[in-house]
Amino acid sequence: MLKIEKLKKQFGGLVALNGIDLHVPPNHILGVIGMNGSGKTTMLNCVNGLYTPTEGRILLQGRDITGLPVEQVARAGVGRTFQVPRVFPHMTLLDNLDVSQLQKGRSAEERYQHSVEWLERVELYRLRHNMAEELSGGQQKLLELARIMVSRPKVVLLDEPFAGVNPGLAQLLIAIIKTLPTEHDCSVVLVSHDLTSIYQLSHHIIVMNEGAILCQGSADTVRNDPAVIEAYLGA
């Protein structure tokens, strides 16, 4: 589904990504963990077109999307959420979801149906006529996820979805993320410092360190890897 080949990103003399190779199969959740500054967000930024890689290739279902602008990457089927959620604050929840579908060639009725389906899914339907700015930070994260999902992406990049989210909403987010591959036919790249959620949700985990993959495998593999314990998980 998503393939990353020898991905490198430099900012002047700083090597943020130093040759990442990665394969995310269809309907899989890839968990990404690593120290602050290890390159996790930079990798997502390269995949969704915010950054142009210095070297390497990014393939979506075999199609080379390296260096395409953000809108084209989104149209190709890559959805992305941010550490600080990006919603349209002065629009209602319904309108936030509606505008995300305008490129899809759906009728107003179809768009409305999709919006309602996702607002119910993220338990925000009762607030559908409220402005997005009235939501809590955690609710905005749920709205942002709904906004991504109404356009039926093939790959969803989630950057710190649980950060700053209260435990109740975090549980709801976890439950929804779990269903994305099975019920919504997409793959997920999940960047998080929340190891419990990463272990719970991920089919495969990579641990990043200084722009490279330090270790990868199942939750058990990662948990017990001596290099990971030393570099990341600590004592």
Ligand X SMILES: Nc1ncnc2c1ncn2[C@@H]1O[C@H](COP(=O)(O)OP(=O)(O)OP(=O)(O)O)[C@@H](O)[C@H]1O
Q: Does 42 bind ligand X (CB under 6 A)?
A: yes
Residue 38 in contact with ligand X, rule: CB under 6 A: yes
Report the C-alpha dihedral over residues 67, 73, 76, 78, rounded to 10 degrees.
Answer: 120
Measured from the Cβ of residue 103, the count of other Cβ atoms closer than 10 Å reads 11
- Cβ proximity to ligand X, 47 vs 122, nearer residue: 47
Cβ distance to ligand X smaller for residue 42 or 100: 42
Residue 196 makes contact with ligand X by CB under 6 A: no
- Please count the CA atoms within 13 angstroms of the CA of 89 that sit on its side-chain side: 7
Residue among 7, 29, 33, 41 that touches ligand X (CB under 6 A): 41
Interface with ligand X, residue 34, by CB under 6 A: yes
Binding residue for ligand X (CB under 6 A) from 39, 79, 161, 181?
39
For the bound state, the minimum distance from the C-beta of residue 187 to ligand X, rounded and expressed in Å, comes to: 20
For the chain, the 3-state helix, strand and coil shares in percent, each to the nearest 5, are 40, 25, 35
| Tokens encoding 119 | 């607002």
Signed CA dihedral, 19, 29, 174, 232: sign only? negative
Q: Least distance to ligand X from the beta carbon of 35, Å?
A: 7
Q: Which residues bind ligand X (CB under 6 A)?
A: 11, 14, 16, 34, 36-42
